[in-house]
């Protein structure tokens, strides 16, 4: 089980946190065929099977972890229509069900959730359980700042949603274009990184947007409180943890990933109980 830092518990209890959900959370879901959602690399490896003309080139890019360029090559080879068909097949029509971990995350009652995931697994569950009162916004929506200031629950899809595949941020060109066209959105996320504690769950360190936001925060504000990232302990060495702590202002929370990351689900349940206890204490003392 994860030993949750007291600062993290208090920030969640006071709703001063933003929870960022990555593909690792969606991986807990299963559909009726027993399939799990593909992560970034798995999707690209699957898609390149349908692009024999560029398969060798794509595999080389994947070996070097250059996922953005690999996706660009696949998209150009397939063309818009076929590429969007593959995206919808993988992230929409597969009909993945919510998992137990989604319930525990929702029950933390964090007002703002950010996710780079294209799928609608958590969004759909949150909207159903909240009777449609959860607001879901994309990076290109112009009223995100207004939504952040209001009291309703908010989910921000920083790379878009499978509902609108033409607006997904998935390739090298997409990332570069979004930073220019939607620079105000990134100002909002940067502002949240200063005023809230980010808690990354199921995220990796390969996402260019996440790296940029954390590096900007780390080097602009030298005297800062670190954000938190939950990672399988075997995925990162102690030395790399030290480097990430210095360059990205991240405190790594490791866990044992055996048995389909079941300890992470159990730990999220425990975190929910600890947060509820802290909220009761804050309410009793009126120390809001």
Q: Which residues contact 73 (CB under 8 A, 6 or more apart)?
A: 51, 54, 57, 58, 61
pLDDT of residue 250: 93
| Domains of the chain, residue spans | 6-29+97-285, 40-91
- Give the fold, CATH level 3, of 6-29+97-285: Rossmann fold (3.40.50)
With 90 as the cut, is the pLDDT of residue 238 above it? no
The 10s digit of each residue's pLDDT in 64-97 is 989 999 999 999 999 999 999 999 999 999 999 9
pLDDT of residue 205: 79
Contact 86, 128 (CB under 8 A): no
With 80 as the cut, is the pLDDT of residue 288 above it? no
Q: Which two tokens stand for residue 241?
A: 């943890």
The three-class DSSP label of residue 84 is helix
How many whole angstroms separate alpha carbon 78 and alpha carbon 54?
A: 10
The 10s digit of each residue's pLDDT in 83-133 is 999 999 999 999 999 999 999 999 999 999 999 999 999 999 999 999 999
pLDDT of residue 92: 93
Buried b (16+ CB within 10 A) or exposed e, 96-118: bebbebbebbbbbebbbbbbbbb
Average pLDDT over residues 254-270: 89
Interhelix angle 238-248/208-220, nearest 10 degrees: 70
pLDDT of residue 230: 95
Average pLDDT over residues 159-183: 94
Task: Give Rg (Cα) of the chain.
Answer: 19
pLDDT of residue 239: 87
The three-class DSSP label of residue 94 is coil
Q: What are phi and psi of 251, to 5 degrees?
A: -105, 120
Q: 240 pLDDT band (50/70/90 cuts)?
A: confident
The 10s digit of each residue's pLDDT in 263-274 is 999 999 999 999
pLDDT of residue 210: 84
Mean pLDDT of the chain: 93
H or E segment and range at residue 191: helix 183-195
pLDDT of residue 68: 92
pLDDT of residue 113: 98
> Quick one: which of 37, 21, 28 has its CA closest to 201?
21
H or E segment and range at residue 273: helix 258-285
pLDDT of residue 224: 87
How many whole angstroms separate alpha carbon 72 and alpha carbon 11?
A: 39
pLDDT of residue 251: 94
The three-class DSSP label of residue 98 is coil
287: Cα within 13 Å, side-chain hemisphere: 9
How many whole angstroms separate alpha carbon 119 and alpha carbon 161?
A: 6
pLDDT of residue 7: 96
How many whole angstroms separate alpha carbon 215 and alpha carbon 174?
A: 20
How many whole angstroms separate alpha carbon 25 and alpha carbon 45?
A: 20
- Give all strands (DSSP E) within 123-249, no chain letters: 135-138, 154-157, 197-201, 227-232
DSSP-derived letter for residue 141 is: -
Average pLDDT over residues 52-61: 93
With 90 as the cut, is the pLDDT of residue 39 above it? no
Structure-model confidence comparison of residues 212 and 127, the more confident one: 127
Structure-model confidence comparison of residues 113 and 239, the more confident one: 113
- Sign of the C-alpha dihedral, residues 100, 155, 281, 6? positive
Q: What proportion of the chain, given as a percentage, has pLDDT over 70?
A: 100
Q: 245 pLDDT band (50/70/90 cuts)?
A: confident
pLDDT of residue 1: 85
With 80 as the cut, is the pLDDT of residue 260 above it? no
């Amino acid at each position: 089980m994860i030993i949750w830092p007291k600062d993290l518990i208090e920030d969640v209890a006071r709703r001063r946190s933003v929870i960022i959900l990555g593909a690792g959370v969606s991986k807990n879901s299963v559909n009726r065929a027993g399939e799990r959602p593909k992560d970034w690399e798995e999707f690209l490896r699957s898609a390149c099977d349908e692009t024999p003309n560029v398969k060798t080139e794509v595999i080389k890019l994947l070996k070097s972890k250059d996922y953005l360029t690999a996706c660009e090559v696949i998209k150009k080879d397939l063309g818009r229509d076929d590429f969007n068909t593959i995206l919808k097949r993988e992230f929409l029509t597969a009909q993945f069900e919510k998992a137990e971990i989604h319930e525990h995350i929702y029950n933390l009652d964090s007002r703002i959730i950010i996710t780079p995931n294209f799928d609608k697994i958590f969004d759909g569950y949150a909207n159903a359980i909240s009777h449609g009162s959860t607001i879901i916004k994309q990076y290109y929506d112009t009223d995100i700042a207004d939504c952040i200031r209001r009291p309703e629950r908010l989910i921000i899809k920083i790379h878009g949603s499978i509902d609108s595949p033409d607006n997904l941020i998935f390739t090298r060109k997409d990332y570069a274009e979004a930073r220019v066209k939607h620079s105000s959105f990134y100002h909002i996320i940067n502002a949240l990184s200063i005023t809230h504690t980010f808690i990354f769950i199921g995220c990796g360190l390969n996402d260019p947007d996440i790296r940029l936001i954390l590096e900007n925060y780390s080097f602009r504000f030298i005297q800062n409180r670190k954000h938190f990232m939950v990672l399988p302990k075997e995925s990162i060495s102690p030395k790399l943890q030290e480097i990430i702590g210095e360059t990205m202002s991240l405190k790594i929370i490791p866990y044992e990933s055996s048995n389909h990351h079941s300890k992470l689900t159990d730990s999220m349940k425990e975190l929910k109980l600890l947060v509820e206890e802290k909220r009761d204490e804050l309410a009793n003392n009126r120390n809001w």
